[in-house]
Structure 1
Amino acid sequence: MSVRNFVSVASTLALVAAAQSFIVAPAVAQAAAPTGQADGQVTAPGAVAATADPQSNAAPATDAAAEQDGIGDIVVTAQRREENLQAVPLAITAISGDTLKARGVVDMSRLSEFVPGFSFGQTGSDVRPAMRGVRTANNGVTGDPTIGYFIDGIYQSRTSQAALGFADVATLEVQRGPQGTLYGRNTFGGNIVVTTNAPTHELDYGSTLTVGNYDKVRYEGYINVPLSDSVAVRLVGVTDYAEGWVRNSYNPQADLFDENKQYVRGSVKWDTGGFSATFRADYAKQGGNGNSAFGYKQIGSYIDPGTCQILFNSPNYIYLNERAGNRDGVADCRTTVASPAGPVGTGVDLGIPIDNLGDEFTVSNDYKPFRNLYQASTSLTASYDFGPVAVKSITGYVKYRGRRTTDSDFSASSIAIDQARTHTDTFSQELQLLSSKSQRLEYVVGGFFLNDNLVNGFINQQLPRVIRSSALAAPITGSQNNGTYQFERVKVYSRAVYGQATFHVTDAWSVTGGVRYTHEKKTYLNATAFWYLPATLPSGANPLTLVTIDDPLPGRGVFPARPDNCGTAGVTAATILNSLGQQVASTYCPLEFSQTTWKAGTEYQITDRNLVYASVSTGFRSGGFNAGLAAAQSAPTFDPEKVTAYEIGSKNRFFDNTVQLNLSAFYNRYRDLQESRQIIVGGTTLQTTFNAARARSYGLEAEAIWEPVPELTLGGNLSLLNAKYTDFNNVPLPFGGSILVSDASVTAPTIVNGVTIAGIGQRRIIAPGYSCDPLTGTGGAGQPALSFVCDLSGNNIPHSPKYSGSAYASYKIAIGDESAVIPFVAVAFAGHHDEQSFNDSLAREEPWAKLDASLTYEVNRQLSLVAFVDNITNTKVQTLVSYGGTPLQASYQPPRMYGLRLRFQR
């Protein structure tokens, strides 16, 4: 954004703000005094949270003025009612909306700076959070997230939805550890709960303009208008634009991680007597080039230099783009021993050089991708307070559509394009019966059901080849391969009933117990198409063989009905093959299961400001499907994975409410983990998801705030974590698990477990650092090609740094009656962690630290200007490494970002 445009926009905003203030001021003086708070609103420092929600009957604070100095309270909803954070016996990090605005947080990507042990990963539009040894690995429609995401109580079933409706936030909660009783399915590792500001009975309005490098321009505005004594409305709007911070040196129009987002939300609240209802409707749209698919930057692969073969986890790396078809005719490696690549001295073409090697924020792709995401949702939260009990209903409908493409060869060559689309239609309904907080026995009883219709489509489009390489004087042209298309549909029906009660044995000591029963049913359909080029058209095949679920086309097949003998042992799916024996469609017997989760705990209020607690709880992640013909024949489904979590903790305020220290220690046992395995089907091996692995994690988390004087705030958090697989066997390595090496000293075949793994004059080298054996049933006469599986027991769970945390400091310097300057500085850090379960050396993040800083000038209570720099150190932090074949692909957090933020509020 040019300086002239910036000055123009900023001046316009300031003039509009001033005009609003002048015009509305007389009306403000006559407006009714507020009668309640926005849901989850932060209270004045030292005050107990006041609430207008009938699910909580706690009286508003009447002596807030007596404790203006000190740390303010935050309202959270982790126990399905509004409560003071410090009174809830759970490990929760709660961040106020004001803090999010001051730090410029507009999505989940920076939560690791606030939440102990939280790790953020992203592949394309899909968010992959992790904490306490639980990570989000499967984002497809055949599986489910492991960490729940809720907006105003409405469950979001796809992690890509987390990047859309994030505006005018009152409170953001991260609930660490399983929440299987009060929240249920897919809260296996915890929850991220966003509560937006509800309408209030006070005229209010405000806006924030942010400008920065990469032509960043973000505007967010809101207005809250009371229509009567009982009805109020609130409107929120956001526009966000930025150029991509991953530059494309070949095609400048194809920069990645740009932004082009629009968002609007309207809400109406009606409260009268004991009744309250809030209706919300919003719409979000996100365009631009997007974030590629998985990792956007290739970082190299492994090689055995003597044989020029790929050997996983070898200490030797090769920095080539080895994607299929990317060959420039240049010998990238020369053998020193005889191998399948050829005799000694053979030159092997392994790929083309990786462009912009070592520059994590520059790629060189020819294709300009696109990202088209939109979401429309509505919700109604209604409650009635009868006095001793309150009844609450939460109804939500979410319609999400996503379509994005990527340059699948990751290069300036023209080889292939991938396109993915995801459709989600989610309806949920929850009913709750909540007791009054004034009773000795507090309880919440509820019922929940969810219908989720999911569609996923994937297209691999092959192009006429044009190979461009820095090693070539001119591009090489060639033919193209056949393309594929896959279509999947999953329908989810989930029903649950639950209850949790807390009995106050004494005024200080309480015990809690809860249980939830979930019944779930899923159905699955898929269809496959094959695009044949005329030159490669098999005899008798059509150019396009397609079965479409939505609208079957004449002559292209009929989607198979559910097998008639579902329930019969060994019958799980029906499939359709074309004339070439290729699968074109399949339908599965329904996956149906029931799960009971529970919680037990106790807490003791030592003083009004010191709480200790202990609990044990369980959670689960929903089961799912393995796609494809072979899976349909052998292993079509996998069951839920489960966790049992033990936690002790303490929440404290000391020294006249100037020090807050919250501690939690936990031990989690995971079983039936959904991990990848290989199975044998006919003459081939197939990688599928099985329930096999067991794991455990334990650690300590601390959060602290110190306000020695009202002007100075110091804070930080720390996580110490140990997370490992305890039983994780029979795992195939992603590629290059073993190689054959000529060795004349070998005079007899090498046989392991009855399988010949190397012949006379050869020896087999297994990937360094792994204990591997031949997969049973492979390697013999008439059997499929030799395949190896390895034991990963004892490996670190991905995205689980041994230590991580942050620290911050701010100081308010008064320069007038209303004006002040506030410098702020924060540092975030993390230790070594692995990014894949194989713990290989390239997929490993080394220790890192980065620094943020800002300087705020408060003109008065209404107007402030913030100058900020995020990631001053320009630290390159990997968020994910993925195996899309060789080489490995990585994603990174943004580089240094800086700008100005102008805020106005009534």
Structure 2
Amino acid sequence: MTLSKRAYLGALVAMLSAPAFAQSTANNDQSDGSQQRSSNRLLEEVVVTARKRTESVQDVPISIAAFSAEKLDAIGIETAQQLDKITPGLVFGSTIGFNTVSLRGVGSDAYLPSADPSVPIYVDDINSLPSQGSIDALVNVERVEVLKGPQGTLFGRNALGGAIRIVTPDPRDDVFEGQLKADYGRYDLVGADSSGGSAFLNIPIAEGLAATLSGLYRDEEPIYTNELGEPVEPNKIEAFRGKVKWYVTDTLDITLSGAYEEAANAGGLSAEGTQPSTACAICTPDPKFDYRTQHNVPAALRTRRTMLSGYVNWDLPTFTAKLILSDQNLDVPYGWGDLDYTSAPIFAGNVGEQYAEQRTAEFRIESNDNSFMSDRLTWVVGAYYLEAAGGYDPLYLRFTTGATDFLGVSPIVESISNLLSGVVPNLNNADVTAVSYGVLNTESISGFAEGNYHILDRLKLTLGVRYDEESRDVSGSRVDLKIADGDDEGDIPFSSFDVPEANTSRTSPRVSLQWEFDNAQVYGSYSVGYLSPTYNTVNILEGPNFVEQEENNAYELGFKGSWLDGQLQLEGALFYTERTNIITAYTSILSGGAVTFFNAGDGEIKGVELSMQLQPMPTLNPGLALIASGSYLDGEYTDYKDGRGYDEDSGLTFGPGALNLLEARDFTGNTLTNTPEFTGSISLLQAISLGRLGEIELGIDTYYNSGYFFSAQNTSLLEQEQYQTYDARISYFYNPWGLQLTLFGENLTDERYFASAVHLDFGPGRSLAPPKQLGVRAKWTF
């Protein structure tokens, strides 16, 4: 049974008014009550560092969804991409394998290595390089924080819609401990098995010196099958992370960290072409969505990434100094995908090499207990430097033999034919591959400051600002042609582009006012965020086009509170966001621009959020806990007159630069991409003590999404309709051995919804999310 939006809201209201919520525990023994509450893992209080200092999540005047490692395990969350199931308003989308994250209706549908995410992921205060096909596994984390709204003051570049912070545990020199975890699951509908495991060790080396080591292995059979026999890459990952921490003195510590990951998967390149363009006479549609494709080439992507970092923390008499250095490298040595999504031999792409490298340095000083006016003022001041490069070197876009019947209408084929006149006598008998090169180079430097001042005992004012200067250019932008005619092959220069350097600067302010009550607070905030200007790097006839930076102005009024002796915690917010110069992308290979970035215009989001954590019967049933949350978004384009896309009936392109229909269409009033009107989740957990025999934990979760569009055109061809999923778990704990055994089920009702969708010249390609999975997981903590 699917719950409607009204049913969700009614359930929240009913829970808040139920008699069990009004039970008083004033006569209970406090220590006993605390022990009872801690028996349910949903009720842990999470401490965060969202403002570069340690605070309870209930005390921070920012809307944050924070999850400890135990809470994530209790809800069955294994990757960052699953956080949207417990964070309403968060949507993890995908375009040809690139994550396109949206939070509160703020996100960019632009993709490629040169497209910056609007909601970056940070691991231990270092922003991770986004990549095609990436899966961010949450292995042995201390906590995860989802910060909502612009975070440009303290988190800098591109934290336009928010930031996701993954914090891993620091090494401890006082205990040897570890954890081993293994799991096995099966997707019954498609007969695919998945298995994996992880390990973690904390190793005291000497007094004041310790290390942590962690590793992850995963091997998952593909849920898609290619009926033409071409392989679909299994999902495999091997990852390792190590940290060494040296407590040099009582006031100085140094941490060195390194990570390596090697992965292989289908990279979002296995998509079903159920409704190809009617303009393509040789394209045969798939009959239905059934986890089966008909592709002429493999669906495969392999990635390697490394990260080295260093942290210095020095507590000085009147302030604390911190230095963070990082060096990251990403390499995609292999990738293949059929980009017409049908059995017709038309168009395919493969990666010669995709790479990215990034080096950062951050220095900041923070107030401490001995700072001037420390009883009323806390502050942080710092500077940040980044240099990065990334792109394709090269990317192969192959028009295959026999495709001329469809491609003959393309200016690309006409240009190629003119260039090759007399070189290749009959283009119909040749495969033609456009070899696209282009690397985006970035250098950025910024300074930031934020202070929190007690105007009155219960009234706090926060002021923050960040100033950035950034330069970007594209090097080596060119296209060669590779012609395969029988046994002859050759590379012919086709086009090259000179790209000017772009220099920009920006100031990101933030101000908030916080009024504290007994066990509660009300806050209001205003903040500005930016998404960096950039160039597209995949081109054929037209050079890389520059897009201006996107700017968001965000207003929020929120509250947080804890009542009934901590049994009930509520958090809510009203927010309004103005979006200017929205960065988006339009993909049309045959029109000559390949992937074109442009500024779509303006938009706005009005929204409300409410989340609750509850222990309904602390005396009668202390092991029962519930968390519930919901988000309502009204997001639309307020000024988007030059809309580009594909006609729903004919499949022909329209808008500026289009191959067929040059007249643009007005998208003003359309819903923002990846912006569902309503999302909601409920998790119920029951812990049952078996005395000396251990403990049983029962959990059930549901997530509802009212649906959204993958493109600004709001076409039904790229629409995710409403859906609802159910997950469940039963775990057995034997604490003397540190043993946990779990039976789990995900998507138990076998709901069909899309993991990704994109429209190319030959029609839409859509990939289904995984079907029902059943499995078992074992964890040993020692």
Equivalent-residue separation in structure 2 for 1:895 and 1:901 (angstroms) = 19
Partner residue of 1:284? 261
Partner residue of 2:236? 260
1:69 to partner: Cα distance: 4.4
Equivalent-residue separation in structure 1 for 2:121 and 2:114 (angstroms) = 18
Question: In 2 relative to 1, CA 806–447 (structure 1 residues): closer, same or farther, beyond 3 Å?
Answer: same
> Which residue of 553, 566, 570 maps to 1:644?
553
**Greater CA radius of gyration, 1 or 2?**
1
Per-residue deviation, residues 485-534 of structure 1 (Å, max 9, x unmatched): 10111110000000001111122110011111000001212121112344
Equivalent-residue separation in structure 1 for 2:74 and 2:578 (angstroms) = 38
1:218 equivalent in alignment to 2:218: no
Equivalent-residue separation in structure 1 for 2:33 and 2:364 (angstroms) = 36
Per-residue deviation, residues 619-641 of structure 1 (Å, max 9, x unmatched): 00000124548654xx8422110
1:706 to partner: Cα distance: 0.5
* TM-score of the two chains, using structure 2 as the length reference: 0.85
Letter of the aligned partner of 2:492 in structure 1? T
Question: In 2 relative to 1, CA 732–66 (structure 1 residues): closer, same or farther, beyond 3 Å?
Answer: closer
1:149 to partner: Cα distance: 1.4
Equivalent-residue separation in structure 1 for 2:51 and 2:580 (angstroms) = 26
Helix, strand or coil at the partner of 1:660: strand
1:255 to partner: Cα distance: 3.4
1:602 equivalent in alignment to 2:513: yes
Partner residue of 2:27? none
1:407 equivalent in alignment to 2:338: yes
1:869 to partner: Cα distance: 0.3
Partner residue of 1:705? 613
Question: In 2 relative to 1, CA 715–482 (structure 1 residues): closer, same or farther, beyond 3 Å?
Answer: same
Contact 1:631/1:688, CA 8 A, preserved across alignment: no
Helix, strand or coil at the partner of 2:207: coil
Letter of the aligned partner of 1:129 in structure 2? V
Letter of the aligned partner of 1:726 in structure 2? T
1:535 to partner: Cα distance: 8.0
Question: In 2 relative to 1, CA 426–850 (structure 1 residues): closer, same or farther, beyond 3 Å?
Answer: same
Helix, strand or coil at the partner of 1:836: coil
Partner residue of 1:299? 274
Question: In 2 relative to 1, CA 367–543 (structure 1 residues): closer, same or farther, beyond 3 Å?
Answer: closer
Contact 2:358/2:386, CA 8 A, preserved across alignment: yes
Equivalent-residue separation in structure 1 for 2:595 and 2:102 (angstroms) = 24
Equivalent-residue separation in structure 2 for 1:195 and 1:704 (angstroms) = 23
Per-residue deviation, residues 267-322 of structure 1 (Å, max 9, x unmatched): 1111231112221111100024x2343x611231566xxxxxx5xxxxxxxxxxx4
1:405 to partner: Cα distance: 1.1
1:723 equivalent in alignment to 2:700: no
1:843 to partner: Cα distance: 1.5
> Which residue of 646, 655, 663 maps to 1:734?
646
> Which residue of 443, 449, 453 maps to 2:389?
453
> Which residue of 304, 318, 332 maps to 1:374?
304
Question: In 2 relative to 1, CA 738–233 (structure 1 residues): closer, same or farther, beyond 3 Å?
Answer: closer
Partner residue of 1:22? none
Equivalent-residue separation in structure 2 for 1:462 and 1:775 (angstroms) = 24
> Which residue of 655, 669, 677 maps to 1:794?
669
Contact 2:202/2:213, CA 8 A, preserved across alignment: yes
1:695 equivalent in alignment to 2:671: no
1:142 to partner: Cα distance: 3.3
Helix, strand or coil at the partner of 1:140: coil
1:147 to partner: Cα distance: 1.2
Letter of the aligned partner of 2:713 in structure 1? F
Partner residue of 2:7? none
Letter of the aligned partner of 2:235 in structure 1? E
Per-residue deviation, residues 831-877 of structure 1 (Å, max 9, x unmatched): 13222100112211221111000110112350010000000001011
Q: How many residues align?
A: 702
Partner residue of 2:579? 670
1:527 equivalent in alignment to 2:478: yes
1:693 to partner: Cα distance: 0.3
1:805 to partner: Cα distance: 1.1
Equivalent-residue separation in structure 2 for 1:406 and 1:677 (angstroms) = 19
Question: In 2 relative to 1, CA 533–228 (structure 1 residues): closer, same or farther, beyond 3 Å?
Answer: closer
Question: In 2 relative to 1, CA 236–160 (structure 1 residues): closer, same or farther, beyond 3 Å?
Answer: same
User: Which shifted more, 794-803 or 279-288?
Assistant: 279-288
Pairing 1:771-782 to 2, within 5 Å after superposition: none
* TM-score of the two chains, using structure 1 as the length reference: 0.73
Letter of the aligned partner of 2:358 in structure 1? T
Contact 2:529/2:553, CA 8 A, preserved across alignment: yes
Pairing 1:436-835 to 2, within 5 Å after superposition: 436=368, 438-456=374-392, 457-464=394-401, 479-525=429-475, 526-534=477-485, 543-546=490-493, 582-583=494-495, 585-607=496-518, 609-626=519-536, 628=539, 631-632=542-543, 636-675=545-584, 688-708=596-616, 709=618, 710-735=622-647, 787-835=662-710
Contact 2:465/2:507, CA 8 A, preserved across alignment: yes
Question: In 2 relative to 1, CA 285–675 (structure 1 residues): closer, same or farther, beyond 3 Å?
Answer: closer
Per-residue deviation, residues 158-205 of structure 1 (Å, max 9, x unmatched): 254852564211111111111111111111111011111221231111
Unmatched runs of 5 consecutive residues or more in structure 1: 1-62, 304-309, 311-321, 323-349, 468-477, 547-581, 740-765, 779-783
Question: In 2 relative to 1, CA 886–412 (structure 1 residues): closer, same or farther, beyond 3 Å?
Answer: closer
User: Which shifted more, 495-504 or 200-209?
Assistant: 200-209
Equivalent-residue separation in structure 2 for 1:136 and 1:677 (angstroms) = 12
Question: In 2 relative to 1, CA 270–835 (structure 1 residues): closer, same or farther, beyond 3 Å?
Answer: same
> Relative contact order (alpha carbons < 8 A, sep ≥ 6): 1 or 2 greater?
2
Letter of the aligned partner of 1:378 in structure 2? L
Equivalent-residue separation in structure 1 for 2:123 and 2:520 (angstroms) = 30
Contact 1:419/1:458, CA 8 A, preserved across alignment: yes
1:449 to partner: Cα distance: 0.3
Equivalent-residue separation in structure 2 for 1:587 and 1:543 (angstroms) = 24
Helix, strand or coil at the partner of 1:372: strand
Partner residue of 2:213? 235
- Of all paired residues, the percent bearing the same amino acid is 22
Equivalent-residue separation in structure 1 for 2:661 and 2:459 (angstroms) = 62
1:146 to partner: Cα distance: 1.3
Unmatched runs of 5 consecutive residues or more in structure 2: 1-29, 38-42, 187-191, 405-427
Q: CA RMSD in A?
A: 2.9
Equivalent-residue separation in structure 1 for 2:613 and 2:448 (angstroms) = 35
Contact 2:103/2:148, CA 8 A, preserved across alignment: yes
Helix, strand or coil at the partner of 1:129: strand
Per-residue deviation, residues 692-716 of structure 1 (Å, max 9, x unmatched): 5010001011111101323001111
Equivalent-residue separation in structure 2 for 1:135 and 1:151 (angstroms) = 20
Question: In 2 relative to 1, CA 630–287 (structure 1 residues): closer, same or farther, beyond 3 Å?
Answer: closer
Helix, strand or coil at the partner of 1:235: strand
Question: In 2 relative to 1, CA 66–732 (structure 1 residues): closer, same or farther, beyond 3 Å?
Answer: closer
Equivalent-residue separation in structure 1 for 2:702 and 2:609 (angstroms) = 17
Equivalent-residue separation in structure 2 for 1:178 and 1:265 (angstroms) = 30
> Which residue of 76, 80, 92 maps to 1:108?
80
Pairing 1:845-860 to 2, within 5 Å after superposition: 845-860=720-735
Equivalent-residue separation in structure 1 for 2:52 and 2:560 (angstroms) = 19
> Which residue of 124, 134, 141 maps to 1:169?
141
Per-residue deviation, residues 711-758 of structure 1 (Å, max 9, x unmatched): 00111110000000000012233346889xxxxxxxxxxxxxxxxxxx
1:110 to partner: Cα distance: 1.4
User: Which shifted more, 120-129 or 801-810?
Assistant: 120-129
Letter of the aligned partner of 1:528 in structure 2? V
